Amino acid sequence: MIKIIGVRFRNAGKIYYFDPKKLPIKKGDHVIVETARGIEYGSVVADAREVTDDQVVQPLKPVIRIANADDNARAQRNKEKEKEAFRICLEKIRKHKLEMKLIDTEYTFDNNKVLFYFTADGRIDFRELVKDLASVFKTRIELRQIGVRDETKVVGGVGICGRELCCHTFLSEFAPVSIKMAKEQNLSLNPTKISGVCGRLMCCLKNEEDTYEYLNSRLPGIGDRVIADDGLKGEVQSVNVLRQLVKVLVDVQDEKELREYKVEQLKFKPRRKKEKLNLNDKELKELKALEKDEGKSKLDDN
């Protein structure tokens, strides 16, 4: 068994694990640790706990120290310097007439490097820009191109639910989201209604997918023939997934009658295949563009 703590270096960023040694570290503290980028200042988001050796990536680096007043002041100064660096970089981008959008600037804690995050439609030749920035800041410069999901994670905003975006507040990593998830949840396949602020499929579709898969597996499909517990037979017209209710057009003597049953009252063959997406090529292309996987986040590289 090995003792670990969880540390984040940016808001809603990925959690990294470190060895707390014998330091009295608790959740909410700030710590100084060594990462692949050098010495960094992070926030403790998970209390110390013991896990098996195979649950963490070895070797596990130790915490150097709990952040003191000087460390906190330095971290605050870095935040102020980042604002100035952002302004200067914007000026340089305009000077070199580059088709790129600057999103964020980040100083490493030891000021060994300044990172500039940007978005662009394609590849950008920013070699002259890097030289220009290096002459100003007198330190290592890194320009990192990020995707639209990472851009939204950094900038933040409000979703259609009226709450702050999940990716900006607590979602540390992006999960793949597909249009089949929207179909499983009986949502409209209108791109404007199932895409988030970033223009990709909403992350919350993934949150409820397991529940909907289970509930749908207990229901018959539209058009299936069923037998009710009152002996009547009929065809399924509609289903209420969350309430587990089924409307059936049953044969009552020589007439048809629409009745509602609980799923437990019906006998039917379980669905084996998921419904196909009844879309034309243009609609399918638009939806596929929404679920395009941008791969691993470019924001976290510690």
User: Can you list the domains of the chain with their CATH numbers?
Assistant: 2-67 (no CATH), 74-149 (3.30.300), 175-211+271-291 (no CATH), 220-267 (2.30.30.30)
Going by pLDDT thresholds of 50, 70 and 90, the confidence category of residue 115 is very high
Q: Residues near 190 by Cβ (< 8 Å), separated by ≥ 6?
A: none
The answer to whether 262 and 301 are in contact (CB under 8 A) is no
Three-point CA angle 184, 167, 173, nearest 5°: 80
Mean predicted confidence (pLDDT) in 114-118:
96
Mean predicted confidence (pLDDT) in 105-113:
93
The answer to whether 110 and 38 are in contact (CB under 8 A) is yes
Rounded-to-integer distance, Cα 143 and Cα 148, Å: 16
Rounded-to-integer distance, Cα 118 and Cα 100, Å: 7
Rounded-to-integer distance, Cα 52 and Cα 238, Å: 49
Whole-angstrom CA distances from 147 to 15, 153, 228, 232, 299 are 20, 10, 52, 55, 10
| Predicted pLDDT at 233 | 92
Please count the CA atoms within 13 angstroms of the CA of 60 that sit on its side-chain side: 23
- Within a 10 A sphere around the Cβ of 198, how many other Cβ atoms? 22
The answer to whether 38 and 112 are in contact (CB under 8 A) is yes
| Predicted pLDDT at 55 | 82
pLDDT in tens, 24-64: 999 999 999 999 888 999 999 988 888 888 888 888 899 99
Examine the pLDDT at 215 and tell me if it is beyond 80: yes
| Predicted pLDDT at 302 | 66
Examine the pLDDT at 227 and tell me if it is beyond 90: yes
| Predicted pLDDT at 175 | 85
| Predicted pLDDT at 113 | 93
What is the CA 2 to chain-centroid distance, rounded? 29
Whole-angstrom CA distances from 226 to 133, 146, 217, 261 are 71, 51, 15, 11
| Predicted pLDDT at 278 | 63
pTM of the model: 0.79
| Predicted pLDDT at 171 | 87
Examine the pLDDT at 79 and tell me if it is beyond 70: yes
| Predicted pLDDT at 272 | 56
pLDDT in tens, 156-176: 999 988 999 999 988 888 888
Examine the pLDDT at 300 and tell me if it is beyond 80: no
| Predicted pLDDT at 290 | 78
| Predicted pLDDT at 19 | 92
- Within a 10 A sphere around the Cβ of 46, how many other Cβ atoms? 13
| Predicted pLDDT at 266 | 94
pLDDT in tens, 247-293: 999 988 888 999 999 999 999 987 655 555 666 777 777 777 777 65
The answer to whether 224 and 206 are in contact (CB under 8 A) is no
pLDDT in tens, 62-73: 999 999 999 999
